[in-house]
Amino acid sequence: MRSILTTEQVLLILSLGVAVSHVFPAISTPVTHITLARFMDFTYGVWGWCYTRRLPTKLVLCTKRSIGYKYLSTHMYGDILFIPSQSKYSISRLLVVHIIALFNSAVLAIMTAMIAGTTYGDSSQFVLAAALVSLPLFVFSLFCFLVDILLFATHLDWPGWLMLMDTVVMAFVCSLLWSLRRTVSIRNYETLHASQRYPMNQYPLHRTVQQSEPTNTAPLEEPVSSYKTDNH
């Protein structure tokens, strides 16, 4: 039975999904209303944090957009940062891994698109490069999740939990890419040798003994080692 999607297409879909899920933390709270975590009246994002008071009147105070949390400069309740876990505030600077992961995932998505859509998919070198790019992305996805959970404990919002899913998906994507590299490598090797080692038109099956002149065995005089293969 033929599968509906090829490996390359599955890879493209998964890596696009990972790239998209890395966008949400990058545009979190001070930028949009998406929050990385929520605790009491506080909402947290990569670029800063906000204090929301609903009663008596709705009031939203946010910090300036920068990496690493700072206190609000207002002198009122809610200007002091409160982190759900007991972490040091400086750890919030490590949230920068979300941005790194976003770029990394964008690069991987582009590479998998090229593998799925262009002839780069037949180059074992390119697939190897994509597989190498996928390794740091796995590391960064895991790092994002660890930093999030270290800062916000279990008060994570869905973009935070998405990082855990990304890590699992990335583990799958990594193994798929590395097996794709093997497949491409074997495919290249076999097509090369199928076309050059057994040229069927030069070895017709009805060949007789009289035809086996030494001059007729030209293809064999070329040694196996002289075949140009791409470097696996």
By the rule CB under 8 A, 103 interacts with other proteins: no
| The only residue of 6, 74, 118, 175 in contact with other proteins, by rule CB under 8 A | 175
Q: Which residues contact 74 (CB under 8 A, 6 or more apart)?
A: 61
Using the contact rule CB under 8 A, the part of the chain among 11-19, 38-46, 72-80, 218-226 near other proteins is 218-226
| The only residue of 110, 113, 128, 165 in contact with other proteins, by rule CB under 8 A | 128
Nearer CB in complex with other proteins: 33/187: 187
| The only residue of 129, 146, 164, 165 in contact with other proteins, by rule CB under 8 A | 146
Query: Minimum CB separation from other proteins for residue 220, in Å?
Result: 5
Q: Which residues contact 95 (CB under 8 A, 6 or more apart)?
A: 25, 36, 46, 67, 68, 147, 148, 151
By the rule CB under 8 A, 201 interacts with other proteins: no
Per DSSP, 42 falls in state: E
By the rule CB under 8 A, 87 interacts with other proteins: yes
Torsion of CA 24, 28, 34, 39, to 10 degrees: 120
> What is the C-alpha separation between 89 and 170, in angstroms, rounded?
29
> What is the C-alpha separation between 15 and 21, in angstroms, rounded?
10
By the rule CB under 8 A, 182 interacts with other proteins: yes
